[in-house]
Amino acid sequence: MEPITGAEILVRCLKQEGVEYLFGYPGGSVLHIYDALHAQEDVKHVLVRHEQAATHAADGYARATGRPGVVLVTSGPGVTNAVTGIATAHMDSIPMVIFSGQVPTALIGNDAFQEVDSVGITRPCVKHNFLVKDVNQLAETVKKAFYIATTGRPGPVLVDIPKDVTIAKTTFSYPETIRLRSYNPTIKGHAGQIRKAVDLIMSAKRPIVYAGGGTVISDGSAQLVEFTRLLGSPITITLMGLGAYPATDKQFLGMLGMHGTYEANMAMHECDVMIAIGARFDDRVTGKLEKFSPNAKIVHIDIDPSSISKNVRVDIPIVGSVPHVLQSMITQMREESLKLNEAALSDWWKQINAWREMKSLRYRGSDEIIKPQFVVEKLYEVTQGRAIITSDVGQHQMWAAQYYHFDQPRQWINSGGLGTMGFGLPAAMGAQLAFPNRDVACVTGEGSIQMMLQELSTMKQYGTPVKIINLNNRYLGMVRQWQEFFYQKRYSMSYMEALPDFVKLAEAYGHVGIKIEKPSEVEGALREAFAMKERLVFLDFITDPTENVFPMIPSGGGQNEMLLAERDEMVSTHEDGMVLV
Amino acid sequence: MKNPHRHLISILMENESGALSRVANLFSARGYNIESLTVAPTNDPSLSRLTLVTCGNDQIIEQIVKQLNKIIDVVKLMDMTEADAIERELMLVKTRAVGEGRAEMKRLAEIFDGHILDVTDSTYTIELTGRSEKLDNFLRAVDKDSILEVARSGTTGIGRGARALNV
Ligand SMILES: Cc1ncc(C[n+]2csc(CCOP(=O)(O)OP(=O)(O)O)c2C)c(N)n1
């Protein structure tokens, strides 16, 4: 075999991994790699306009498909620009492999031009990272990177490649499989624990299923649906898990947590047995820990042992992958014809239905001014609930989660863990590249969208006909809401002055822009936009600037201390809650 | 059990650059404390052994162990304090040794099973090994002003009996 360069080896590895898209940006240290990319057509490179967008686009691609997102950036500023996107993927356990150029090995540590300690900078926000110092180790390292990124609890893995390694030559062989003595994720749950869990569940009078993003990531949705239907119990889902169980199903109580539904949070608070599945008891979900589900015995299924009993002590931990563990439970329940106590379950549903009557997602409509919730409801109708929806961070994100009823996993793409404004647009681009024929919409706010506007250019170049749903309230709305409630309406730096004309802006990038100011025009504009199958359309909805996200558990509150929109005067938050965010 | 306890955790990890920083980073990022840390290669050159002393209640120690196990370079670890273990630390102390104090210092070193490694007309350099408390006790027994320099290795340990940490 002829020796080939490190750059060529890298490209061959990507082909072997079946990489369809590489999101990247060139620079000095990766020019050899770009040269090798130029000579082939299997791996398509998407030239973003900012490295942060490369990581978010790869992330959106990964969330939409379940396959790893792949990124290539240059050394120094290329890497530092990518860090936000890497951290975003890390917090949400998204499989991603990032290749970064590095200064030549001989210069490492010399403060060379465009040198940063990429492995050091990214260490706290990757699952693992590598510095490849020898071309003979390159192929194996790439194999390891993909293996680590996509197995167990997935996450981003960075491979830092000095420029001389991309030039050096060796013969290429790509390992078929890889075994790491120090890394063996547990997939199958412990049989004894599963049996104990089923026993506990069957003793429940007020059970609830609480499922999270891990269910989506592990492709465990089918098993979750079967398990929950078999049980007949209510189910609630976290912001990260929406779509794992059909939102239109009658057993679904809606999202839980800070802006979850009243019935979901009350049922969590009052349950006697909680089955937590691929969820991690995030502080946005639990509210104040001391007040969290006081009477619940908890079963917790998670692939990551360190997620178990981290925030909340659980009674029956099961380490394993969600679909495997649920399948074992389903099999046992079927074989032994296990059923919950029917009378108790029916009482429980009566109670839940009473909570449902509070209609906690009700909002006051208007003929004068566009209510943001109304836009999302219409978006749901016009796309028949089948679009892939990405979002940014803020009020619009919560409204998208509350009013678009996701029936399928991987339909809802948002930065839940890190809460990264700017995520939505590039993530939509990644999702659209993965699914060119599906409707993809980015629900955003005028604050968030301005963090990634440059990608409108990339999206012109690659023809991704995303629909941007800009809920333009002229405020950093979520900040404004907190200032209204907790800082006596002192709106410090939350008003967005000097906004651009988004219609002209979209047009300047070669897209279509529509400004919508009246409620009566909302549906028509959406229909018009989605009819333009080939075009990116920027829909600028001028919405009610005073609208707030309800219901809400104020920081420091318990799950049963929700504030509902019209019923409650907003009381000032608990003092110890003020330090929480 | 809410009270913090001292734990000695030994870790076998890949002898890779960066492995040590991953462990150290974990402790600073998650706000766990490290009282001491030692690291050196083992008889298998591909593995290093890192031993650290930390302190926390049961829940924190459980998290520390899980988080350490999650580090890709960590091959295996053992909480030595879970069962009977031998703990040792090495200390080198340079002391003043003049006048009446000179004989006294030598006597004290002998009581603590120390070895005097280096002698000048005004100083002794003493080597002591043992559990950390023994080394603390020695420093307490010596007049403060006569200590010129202290170098401690940090504690390492090994299980008693057949319990062994290997791969
Ligand atoms: C990069 C980044 N900076 C700051 C924040 C803090 N933050 C959270 S929501 C929000 C306001 C978002 O405003 P906008 O995008 O207009 O959405 P709205 O809340 O008005 O719907 C801010 C500033 C963040 N999440 N991400």
**Would you kindly state where each structural domain of chain B is located, as residue ranges?**
6-83, 86-156
Distance CA A22, CA A31 (A): 15
Give residue A90's pLDDT band: very low, low, confident or very high (50, 70, 90).
very high
> Does the pLDDT at position A568 exceed 60?
no
pTM attached to this predicted model = 0.96
pLDDT in tens, A346-395: 999 999 999 999 999 999 999 999 999 999 999 999 999 999 999 999 99
The per-residue pLDDT for A565 is 80
User: Comparing A51-55, A307-311, A346-350, A506-510, which segment has the lowest mean pLDDT?
Assistant: A307-311
Q: Which residue has the tokens 């998204």?
A: A94
Give residue A50's pLDDT band: very low, low, confident or very high (50, 70, 90).
very high
The per-residue pLDDT for A226 is 98
The domains of chain A, with CATH numbers, are: 4-170 (3.40.50.970), 191-356 (3.40.50.1220), 372-542 (3.40.50.970)
Phi-psi region of A337 (alpha: psi -120 to 50; beta: other; left: phi over 0): left
Distance CA A501, CA A507 (A): 10
Determine contact, residues A275/A212, Cβ cutoff 8 Å: no
pLDDT in tens, A157-195: 999 999 999 999 999 999 999 999 999 998 999 999 999
Ligand 1 closest atom vs CA A84? 1
DSSP state, residue A491: -
Is the alpha carbon torsion for A566, A570, A571, A575 positive or negative?
positive
Answer whether B72 sits within 8 Å of A131, measured CB to CB.
no
The per-residue pLDDT for B1 is 43
Q: Is A402 a catalytic residue?
A: no
Answer whether A183 sits within 8 Å of B72, measured CB to CB.
yes
Q: Which residue has the tokens 């913090």?
A: B4
Pocket test for ligand 1, best of A478, A546, A550, A552 (most atoms within 8 A of CB): A478
Q: Hey, what's the torsion of the CAs at A179, A183, A185, A186, to 10 degrees? A: 90
Q: Give percent above pLDDT 90 in chain A.
A: 94
The per-residue pLDDT for A540 is 98
CATH superfamily of domain region B6-83: ACT domain (3.30.70.260)
Alpha carbon of A80 to ligand 1 centroid (Å): 21
**Inter-chain contacts counted by CB atoms under 8 A, chains A and B:** 39
Which has more pLDDT, A79 or A575? A79
> Does the pLDDT at position A247 exceed 90?
yes
Query: Chain A closest CA to B158's CA: distance in Å?
Result: 21
CATH architecture of the region B86-156:
2-Layer Sandwich (3.30)
Q: Which residues line ligand 1 (CB under 6 A)?
A: A 392-396, 419-422, 445-448, 471, 473, 475-479
Nearest chain B residue to A311 by CA: give it. B59
The two tokens of residue B154 are 């940090």
CA R_g for chain A? 24
Catalytic residue among A8, A17, A51, A446: A51
> Does the pLDDT at position A570 exceed 60?
no
Q: Is A114 a catalytic residue?
A: yes
The per-residue pLDDT for A555 is 78
Q: Is A578 a catalytic residue?
A: no
The per-residue pLDDT for A554 is 85
Give residue A474's pLDDT band: very low, low, confident or very high (50, 70, 90).
very high
* pLDDT, averaged across chain A: 96
Distance CA A53, CA A57 (A): 6
Question: Which residues does B24 contact at the CB level (< 8 Å), separation at least 6?
Answer: B34, B37
Question: Which residues does B62 contact at the CB level (< 8 Å), separation at least 6?
Answer: A309
* Residue at A104: amino acid letter: P
Is the alpha carbon torsion for B43, B47, B48, B53 positive or negative?
negative
Query: Chain B closest CA to A19's CA: distance in Å?
Result: 24
Strand partners, B91: B128, B152
- Asked if B6-83 and B86-156 have one fold, the answer is yes
Alpha carbon of A370 to ligand 1 centroid (Å): 20
What does the pLDDT average to over B43-54?
Answer: 97
The per-residue pLDDT for A572 is 47
Helix, strand, or coil here: A253?
Answer: strand
Give residue A579's pLDDT band: very low, low, confident or very high (50, 70, 90).
low
The two tokens of residue A373 are 């919730």
Helix, strand, or coil here: B112?
Answer: coil
Ligand 1 closest atom vs CA A446? 16
CA R_g for chain B? 19
- Predicted ipTM of the assembly: 0.92
* Torsions phi, psi for B8 (to 5 deg): -110, 115
* Torsions phi, psi for A465 (to 5 deg): -80, 55
Beta strands at B115-119 and B34-41: parallel, antiparallel or unpaired? unpaired
Alpha carbon of A442 to ligand 1 centroid (Å): 15
* Torsions phi, psi for A485 (to 5 deg): -80, -40
Q: Is A489 a catalytic residue?
A: no
Tell me which residue in B14, B22, B67 faces A306 most closely, judged by beta carbons: B67
Burial class of residue A375 (count of CB atoms within 10 Å of its CB; 0-12, 13-18, 19+):
buried
Nearest chain B residue to A128 by CA: give it. B72
> Does the pLDDT at position A345 exceed 50?
yes
Give residue A566's pLDDT band: very low, low, confident or very high (50, 70, 90).
low
What's the angle, vertex CA A88, arms to CA A83 and CA A91, rounded to 5? Answer: 120
The two tokens of residue A8 are 């060529």
Determine contact, residues B83/B101, Cβ cutoff 8 Å: no
Cα–Cα distances (Å) from B46 to A19, A179, B19, B32, B73, in that order, read: 32, 16, 12, 28, 11
B21 contacts on A by Cβ (under 8 Å)? 120, 123
pLDDT in tens, A118-153: 999 999 999 999 999 999 999 999 999 999 999 999
Tell me which residue in B21, B25, B167 faces A181 most closely, judged by beta carbons: B167
Q: Is A263 a catalytic residue?
A: no
Q: How far does chain B reach from its first CA to its final CA, in angstroms?
A: 32
Residues on B contacting A at a C-beta cutoff of 8 Å: 13-14, 17-18, 21-22, 25, 29, 59, 62-63, 66-67, 69-70, 72-76, 167
* Torsions phi, psi for B144 (to 5 deg): -50, -40
> Does the pLDDT at position B2 exceed 80?
no
Count of C-beta atoms within a 10 Å radius of residue A158: 29
> Does the pLDDT at position A577 exceed 60?
no
C-alpha closest to that of A392 among A298, A489, A470: A470
Alpha carbon of A494 to ligand 1 centroid (Å): 9
What does the pLDDT average to over B126-153?
Answer: 97
H helices within A418-471, ranges in order? 424-434, 446-449, 455-461
What's the angle, vertex CA A157, arms to CA A13 and CA A103, rounded to 5? Answer: 75
C-alpha closest to that of A165 among A72, A30, A25: A30
The per-residue pLDDT for A574 is 53
Catalytic residue among A127, A143, A144, A163: A163
Alpha carbon of B30 to ligand 1 centroid (Å): 26
pLDDT in tens, A393-440: 999 999 999 999 999 999 999 999 999 999 999 999 999 999 999 999
Determine contact, residues B91/B150, Cβ cutoff 8 Å: yes
Distance CA A148, CA A97 (A): 9
What does the pLDDT average to over A258-283?
Answer: 97
Determine contact, residues A558/A287, Cβ cutoff 8 Å: yes
Q: Give percent above pLDDT 70 in chain A.
A: 97
For A483-543, list the strands marked E by DSSP.
512-516, 537-542
Determine contact, residues A32/A7, Cβ cutoff 8 Å: yes
DSSP secondary structure letters along A42-89: SSEEEE-SSHHHHHHHHHHHHHHHSSPEEEEE-STHHHHHHHHHHHHH
Distance CA A72, CA B146 (A): 60
Determine contact, residues A191/A257, Cβ cutoff 8 Å: no
